[in-house]
Amino acid sequence: MGGRPKPGHDTEADRHARVGLETTMISHGLSFDVAHMLAGGLVLVSLMMLYQDRLYSLINVLALHAVVLALSVSWQAYIHAEPHLYITAAIALGFKAIIIPVALKRMVFRLGIHREIETVVSIGLTMLAGIALVGLSMEVMLPVTAKVDPVAREDIALALSVVLLGLLIMVTRRNAVSQVIGFMSLENGINLAATGAQGMPLVVEISVAFSVLIAFIVIGIFLFRIRERFDTVDLGALDAFRGERQ
């Protein structure tokens, strides 16, 4: 299944007219504010993630992250009348907000991972870096998306910051679960971008593909027999077997 072909946009000129119309129509008013609010909320939640130092709470925040994403996606689906986006929202809600967090919690419990998150640099520094990243993404995105309509514009900029924040989490957290979480938030940001870029085809396929990817990662942590081979999921333990053993 692909981008749903819309009735009645045949010629170039017609499309341009439609785009312009939408822009003028949506750019002011509630729909824009809500979309903006939700996207901003996502960034906020990402920053909250940075702030966490307990695994369980981090997982909870992740769930929250997914919920906010779901809301924002469904809002996009609503204002752009693109029902297939609801699927994405559903995936976000069901898979990322419920299944994965539960799975992660059970894993943390089963594998007996100690609950503190070892950070590389102090939380405060991480937060500062996060703020800087948000600033950077604004700086990069806002000027270049002048032509794009405001919703997508805001969304893209915020999405980029979510992506960067996700990467930041992956980079500054030592243990695998929190890295998975970082990756998921990164991926949420991409979903946000994908849905924000309205009319983009294959969004659903992509979100599905991504969910598969994440499932792989989570299952991987189980199935790599990590519990058998290593007593912790810290990637640090894997480093004993890195590249060429000296």
Per-residue DSSP letters for 87-148? HHHHHIIIIIIIIHHHHHHHHHHHTT--SBPPBSS-HHHHHHHHHHHHHHHHHHHHHHTSSS
Rounded distance, CA 90 to CA 20, Å?
Answer: 30
User: Based on CB atoms, which residue is closest to another protein, 30 or 244?
Assistant: 244
- Contact between residue 227 and residue 111 where contact means Cβ atoms under 8 Å apart: yes
Residue selected from 40, 217, 227, 232 as contacting another protein according to rule CB under 8 A: 217
Residue selected from 1, 8, 124, 242 as contacting another protein according to rule CB under 8 A: 242
Residue selected from 57, 150, 206, 227 as contacting another protein according to rule CB under 8 A: 206
160-164 CB contacts, 8 Å cutoff, 24+ apart: 160/189, 160/193, 161/43, 161/46, 161/133, 161/134, 161/137, 161/189, 162/42, 162/43, 162/46, 162/186, 162/188, 162/189, 162/192, 163/137, 163/189, 163/190, 163/193, 164/133, 164/134, 164/136, 164/137
Told to check if 85 binds another protein by CB under 8 A, we report no
Restricting to residues 125-154, name those near another protein by CB under 8 A.
133, 136-137, 139-141, 143-148, 152
What is the signed CA dihedral for 181, 185, 186, 190, rounded to 10 degrees? 140
List the structure tokens of 4: 């749903």
Rounded distance, CA 66 to CA 45, Å?
Answer: 10
Closest alpha carbon to 93 in 217, 235, 220, 188:
188
Told to check if 202 binds another protein by CB under 8 A, we report yes
Told to check if 227 binds another protein by CB under 8 A, we report no
Told to check if 197 binds another protein by CB under 8 A, we report yes
Helices (H) and strands (E) in the chain, counts: 11, 0
User: Based on CB atoms, which residue is closest to another protein, 102 or 132?
Assistant: 132
User: Based on CB atoms, which residue is closest to another protein, 97 or 193?
Assistant: 193
CB of 202 to another protein, least distance (A): 4
CB of 182 to another protein, least distance (A): 9
CB of 65 to another protein, least distance (A): 15
Told to check if 7 binds another protein by CB under 8 A, we report no
Told to check if 232 binds another protein by CB under 8 A, we report no
Phi, psi of 38 (to 5 degrees): -65, -45
CB of 47 to another protein, least distance (A): 17
Q: Which stretch binds another protein (CB under 8 A): 28-36, 87-95, 101-109, 191-199?
A: 191-199
Interface positions with another protein (CB under 8 A) = 2-3, 5-6, 9, 12, 15-16, 18-19, 120, 133, 136-137, 139-141, 143-148, 152, 156, 159-160, 163-164, 167-168, 170-171, 173-174, 179, 183, 186-187, 190, 193-194, 197-202, 205-206, 209-210, 212-213, 216-217, 220, 224-225, 229, 235-236, 238-245
